[in-house]
Structure 1
Amino acid sequence: MIATVVLLALPLVATYLVATIWHRRFRQYAGIPQLKPSFLWGHLRAIHELTTLQSRPGLHPDHVFAEMARQLGHPPLMLLDLRPVRPPMIIVTSHEVAEQITRVSKLFPWSTPKSPTMSSLVRLTGAESILAKNGEDWKQLRRRYNPGFAPQHLMSLLPCILDKTDMFVEHLDRYAGSGEEFQLSKLAINLTFEIIGAVTMDVDFHAQHPESSGQGEFIKLFDQLLHMYGPVDNRFPWWMYPRREWRRWRLSEQIDRLLEDMIRHKHAEHQQQAGKAGRARDVLSLSLQDSKELTKSLLSETRDQLKTFLFAGHDTTGILLSWVFYELSRTPAALKAVRDELDDLFGPDPSPAAVRRKLLAPGGEELIHRMAYTTAVIKEVLRLHPPGATARMSPPGTGFRVRTSDGQSFCLDGAILYNCATIIQRDRTVFGDTANDFMPERWLGDKVGIMSAGAGGGADEDAGRKLPAGAWRAFERGPRNCIGQDLATIEARVIVAVVARRFDFVKVGLGELDLDAEGRPVLDEKGQFKTKSELYSVSSVMAGSGRASIPPPPPPPSPPPLRVTAQSMLTVIDRRSR
C-alpha cells in the first residue's frame, strides 16, 4: 500500500519541483536584464564561461560583471541567478538605482537592510557586528561609536598617525638603501593595522616589526584567520568545507579571548580613573566611558565591534595606498602635481620631520584640508579601485521597488542587492570617454571632497557639483555609509604627504613599465607610462564599506601585492633639479 502511494506521489512531486524551478528560473525575475539561464544551474555556467574568457588568474568578479553588462547593453541592473549555491543577486550598475537602495525610504527608515549573506564573515567580524545589524539595533551601535570616528577627534590623533608613519618610512629607507624588491602592499597594510589598533584600542600590535616573529600574538592569529578566506572556496556555503570552518572557529575563539582580556583591562582602567581629567581618546575608551558594569552582553558586543573595525580598517586603507603609489609611479604629471602641492604647503624640505613639524604646529590640521590635488588623487584611486561594496536585501513580500531613468519599475524582494561600485564608478554616461582613465583633475573643485560630510544622499547634494554625488560611492552612501571613511582619508593624506616626495616607486612584475631601447619609460597618448601588462584587481576577502557589507560572492576587490623598489630622496631631488 505504502509503495503504491509513493509511486503515485512521485509524478506529482516531480511535477511540482519542475514547475517551481521553472518559475524561479524563467518567471520570477523575468523582467530584469540577464544572460540566458540554465534550467538546472541558472547563470553559474554563463559566469564560469565569462570568467574563463578573461584569461586573468584570480580576476575579481566585478570585472566579469562588467563584461556581462557590456553583453547586455549596459542595463541599470542585471540578474545573476546563483541558485542552488547562493540566493539570486541583482547587480546594480546605475548610480540612480544604487541611491534608491541606500537612501532612507518609508519602507526602510535606515535604508534597505543588509544582506544575510554577511553571516559568512561571522568568524572575522562576530555575530554582533555593526555590519550585520539592522534597524534600531544598528542605529544604537552607530550612535555609540560615531564619536570615536568624528573628524575633529581623528585630527587629535595626528601624532599617533605620524609616529606609525615614521616606522613605515624606516622600512622604505632600508629597502631603498639595499635595492631589494619587496611587497609594498604588505608594508602598507601593516602600517594601517597599527594605526587602526591605536585609534580603536590604544594598543600597539607591533604589526610593523621588521621580523614576523616580533609581531604580537594577536596580529599573527588575525593574519592566519584572514588567509583562511580564500577567493574561491568563500563563494560557497560553509557546510561544504566543514574542516576549514572548524579551523576558522578555533582561530576566532583565540582572537575573542585576547580581545576580551584587552576590554576587561581597559574597563578596569576607566573605573580607577573615574572622575579624573584627561580621558583616553581611543574608540574603545569612548564606548566604555559611561558603563560602570562590564556585562557579558556588553563584553561580547564591544568585542565584535572591535573585530569589525580592525578587519575593516586596515586592509582597505593599506590597499588604497598601494594603488595610490602605483598610479603615481606611472603618471608623471600627477606625481609632479602632488609634489608641487606638498612643496607649497610644507616647504621645500621633504623630510618626515619637516612634515611632522608643520602638521603638529598650530593650524597644522588645516594643511590636510588644503591638500586639494592629493585629495583628488586619492578620490580618483578610490573611483577606479573601490575598496568595498554593499550587499542589501529586501525580505520577500516587502514590496520594495526601484525605478530606472527610463521609467521602468522593478520589485527586488528576495534577492541580494549588490551595488557594484566598480561598474558604477566607471560609467561612461557620467565620466565620459575617460571613465577608465586615471585623471585626478576631474575632482578638482568638487564640492565635498572625500570626507563623510555630504555622503548622506540628501536631495540638494548635487548643487554646485560637476558630477552626480551618487556616482562616487567608494565608502557607500546614505545613513549606513562607512563609519571609518574619515580615518581612512585623513591617514592616507598624511602618509602621502610624508612619503610622496621622499621615494620613487618602480613596479616589478605584473604592471611594470615598458622601457624603450635606452631603458627609459615611454609616455602614451594619455600621459601615462606604457606598461608591459595590466595590473588588475583580484578576489580577496578585504574590508567592505559600512564599512560596506561584503556580498559573498563577490568579496571586495584588492590589487595583487605590489612588488616595488624604492629609490632614495636623493634620486628624486637630482631628477627634479634637472
Structure 2
Amino acid sequence: MLSPLSVALLALPALLLYLYSALSYRRLKQYANFPQLKPSIVWGHLKAINEHHVKRNEKDSQLDPTMGDMLEEIGNPPIMLLDLRPVSRPLLVIRSHEVAEQVSRQSKMWPYSAPKSDTMMYLTPLLGEKSIVMSQGSGWKDMRKHFNPGFAPQHLMSLMPVILEKTQTFLAKLDELVRTGEEFELEPLCTNLTFDIIGAVTMDVDLNAQLPEDQQIEFIKGYKEFLTSYREGSGILKWWENPQLGRKRRRLAKSCNVFLEDVIRRKFNDVKQDKGSSSRSILALSLKDTQVLTQDIIDGTKDQLKTFMFAGHDTTSILLQWAFYELSRTPRAMKSLRTELESLFGQDLSPEVVREALLARGEEITQKMTYTSAVIKEILRLYPPAGTARLCPPGANFHLQLPDNSSLCVDGMVLYNCATLIQRDPDVYGSTKDDFVPERWLGNTDTSMATNDDEKMGIGKAGENEIPAAAWRPFERGPRNCIGQELANIEARVILASVVGKYVFEKVGLGEATLDEKDRPIINEKGQYRSNTQLYNTRQITARPVDNMRVRVKHQALTGA
C-alpha cells in the first residue's frame, strides 16, 4: 500500500499539468481575439508594461504614454487588452473615441453609463465611502441632482469676486518672485490658489492656503500631507500596501473629517437662523432644504466636500501649470492671447484693470474670451489629469462595437477610457496630435457641460476642420461627466486674464528653452522654443508635471516683448 507521501508525489505531475493548462488557457486563449501584445504565460502583460516603461527613460512618468507605445507596436488598434492577473482584473485600454463613447453614455443596461470600477476604492480614505465619484446607480443620480444647483453656470458667475480676491494673493506672490529672480516650483502656488478658491466656493470658508506654511491652519497642512501620501504607494492592492501608510491615511482622514463636520454643523446653524441667507457656497445651497441634520446627512455631505476639495483644486492647478508653460514657449499663441485680452480690456492689461472689468461685466467678458477658451481646451486635450475606469461585471453580456463593425464581449474587464491617448489620436488630430495648437478649436471653443453631454455630437466622423465632440473628453462625457467643469473653466479664464498681461514665465530644467549665442531662445519649425529635454507628466492620483513646473518669472515690461 502506498504511503500518503507517495500518493502525493504521484499526483503532483498531474496537478502541475492541470495548473499549467488552466494558466495557459487564461493567458493565451481566453482573450485571444482581443488586440494585445504576446502575453507571458507567467506574467501576462505585467513584464511587457515594465519593459516598455523602462524604454521611455522617463523616471516616475505616468503609464498612459507607455500604453500608447504598446498600442503603436501592435498597429494602433482602437483597443488593447492588458492581462494584469493576478494583480488586478484584465484591463481594456481604449484609445478610440467611438468605443469610449459606448462606455460613458447611458444605455438600457446602464441608465447612468457603465459602473465605476472598484479600482477607485484606494481613494476611499481621501474622498470618503459616500463620495459622488464612488457612488453608483440611482444613489449617484440623487446626489448629483442635489448638488447641481451649486455648480450651475449662472450661480458660479456670481462667485467672480471670490475668485478675483484669491487671485490677488497669487499675483502678490508672483511680484515677490519677480523681485528676487529666484527659480521656484509653480505647482505649490497654483495649488494653494485653487485650494483657496475651492474652499470659498464650496464652504464659504477662508482656508488661507496661500499663507506661508508656518501660518497655515492644521487642516491645510494635514490635507497636503494626505495628498502626498499617495506618492508613497498606490494603495490599490491592500495586500501590497504598506500597513504603516494605511494607518497614516486613516489618521489624516479622521483629522480632515473633524474639521469638515464642524464646518457643516456651523453652516447648517447659519442657514437655519437665516444668517447664511447671503452665502452662495455650494454647502449652503445643499443644506437649504435640510430640516434635521442627521449624522447620515453629515457623513454624506462631508464626503462630497472632500471630493469637491480634491477635484476642485487639482484639475485647475494642473491646467494652469501646463497653460503657463505652453504659452511661455509658444510666442504666436501668447501674442494671440494678449491681442484678444487687449480687445476686451484695453491696452492696459494690468491685473487691476482686468479685475475691475471682470467685477463690472464678468459674464459678458468671459463669454467673449474665445482664444482663451481655445488655449484652455487645447491644454486639457494635451494634458488631461485623468481618464475614467469602468467595470463590466461578469455575466453582463456587454459588447463593444469596434470601428470595423466587429464586436467583443468585455465582461469581467476594467474598461479604461484613456483620455491621454484618445485626445492624441492621429486619425482625429493628424500630424499635430502632439502639438500645442489652440487655433484648432476656434469656432468650437465651447467646453460647457451641455456640450460635453451631447450624445448627438458623439461619435460621428470629423468633416474638414471638424473634431468629433467625443474626441475631447478631459471631463468625461455622458451622464457622469464632471460636475465641476464649469467652475474649472471660469477659474482658468479669470486667472489667465489676470496673469498673462503682466507676467512671463521661463522654464527651468526639463523643457527649458535652448539659447543661441546671444542668449535668445531658438524657435523651431513649429513656432515654439526649442528644448533639448522634454517635460512630462508623473502620477500622484492624477497626472501632473514631474518637476512641479520649475520656472522663473519676470514682469512683461522687463522682457522687451
Report the TM-score, using the length of structure 1 for normalisation. 0.93
Matched residue count: 556
Aligned to 1:397: 395
Aligned to 1:411: 409
Helix, strand or coil at the partner of 1:459: helix
Q: Residue 90 of structure 1 is aligned with which of 85, 89, 92?
A: 92
Q: Distance in 1 between matches of 2:55 and 2:265?
A: 53
Aligned to 2:252: 251
Aligned to 1:33: 35
Helix, strand or coil at the partner of 1:30: coil
The equivalences for 1:226-241 within 5 A come to: 226-230=227-231, 233-234=234-235, 236-237=237-238, 239-241=240-242
Q: Distance in 2 between matches of 1:31 and 1:445?
A: 41
Aligned to 1:488: 488
Contact kept in structure 1, 2:323 and 2:375, CA below 8 Å: yes
| 2:294 aligned partner, one-letter code | T
Pairing 1:425–2:423 present? yes
Aligned to 2:552: 565
Helix, strand or coil at the partner of 2:229: coil
**What's the CA shift for 1:181?**
1.2
Helix, strand or coil at the partner of 1:128: coil
Contact kept in structure 1, 2:189 and 2:210, CA below 8 Å: yes
**What's the CA shift for 1:540?**
1.7
Aligned to 1:452: 449
Q: Residue 378 of structure 2 is aligned with which of 363, 368, 380?
A: 380
Helix, strand or coil at the partner of 1:480: coil
**What's the CA shift for 1:223?**
0.6
The equivalences for 1:61-140 within 5 A come to: 61-140=63-142
**What's the CA shift for 1:501?**
0.7
Aligned to 1:510: 510
The equivalences for 1:494-573 within 5 A come to: 494-542=494-542, 556-572=543-559
Contact kept in structure 2, 1:177 and 1:568, CA below 8 Å: no
**What's the CA shift for 1:200?**
0.7
**What's the CA shift for 1:231?**
6.7
**Structure 1's 215 and 28: CA in aligned 2 closer, same or farther, altered over 3 A?**
same
Helix, strand or coil at the partner of 1:491: helix
**What's the CA shift for 1:28?**
2.1
Aligned to 1:294: 293
Question: Over residues 268-289 of structure 1, what are the superposed CA-to-partner deviations in whole Å (9 max), with x where a residue is unaligned?
Answer: 111211xx79342111111111
**Structure 1's 2 and 307: CA in aligned 2 closer, same or farther, altered over 3 A?**
farther
Contact kept in structure 2, 1:394 and 1:400, CA below 8 Å: yes
Contact kept in structure 1, 2:119 and 2:236, CA below 8 Å: no
Helix, strand or coil at the partner of 2:140: helix
Q: Distance in 2 between matches of 1:196 and 1:179?
A: 30
Q: Distance in 1 between matches of 2:181 and 2:36?
A: 51
Q: Which moved more, 1:426-435 or 1:348-357?
A: 348-357
**What's the CA shift for 1:420?**
0.8
**What's the CA shift for 1:12?**
6.0
The equivalences for 1:177-256 within 5 A come to: 177-209=179-211, 211-230=212-231, 233-234=234-235, 236-237=237-238, 239-256=240-257
**What's the CA shift for 1:353?**
1.7
**What's the CA shift for 1:457?**
3.7
Q: Distance in 1 between matches of 2:500 and 2:382?
A: 20
Contact kept in structure 1, 2:371 and 2:442, CA below 8 Å: yes
Q: Distance in 2 between matches of 1:159 and 1:81?
A: 50
Question: Over residues 330-374 of structure 1, what are the superposed CA-to-partner deviations in whole Å (9 max), with x where a residue is unaligned?
Answer: 00000011111101101112122211111121x431110111111
**What's the CA shift for 1:569?**
3.7
**Structure 1's 252 and 10: CA in aligned 2 closer, same or farther, altered over 3 A?**
farther
Contact kept in structure 2, 1:99 and 1:457, CA below 8 Å: no
| 2:467 aligned partner, one-letter code | L
Aligned to 1:548: none
Contact kept in structure 1, 2:122 and 2:236, CA below 8 Å: no
Contact kept in structure 2, 1:103 and 1:457, CA below 8 Å: no
**Structure 1's 18 and 220: CA in aligned 2 closer, same or farther, altered over 3 A?**
same
Identity %: 50
Aligned to 1:546: none
Helix, strand or coil at the partner of 1:248: helix
Contact kept in structure 1, 2:457 and 2:469, CA below 8 Å: no
**Structure 1's 511 and 270: CA in aligned 2 closer, same or farther, altered over 3 A?**
same
Q: Distance in 2 between matches of 1:360 and 1:245?
A: 45
Aligned to 2:358: 359
Report the TM-score, using the length of structure 2 for normalisation. 0.95
| 1:449 aligned partner, one-letter code | D
| 1:372 aligned partner, one-letter code | T
**What's the CA shift for 1:394?**
0.9
| 1:143 aligned partner, one-letter code | K
**Structure 1's 195 and 176: CA in aligned 2 closer, same or farther, altered over 3 A?**
same
Aligned to 1:268: 269
| 2:456 aligned partner, one-letter code | A
Helix, strand or coil at the partner of 2:25: helix
**Structure 1's 257 and 6: CA in aligned 2 closer, same or farther, altered over 3 A?**
farther
Contact kept in structure 2, 1:66 and 1:423, CA below 8 Å: yes
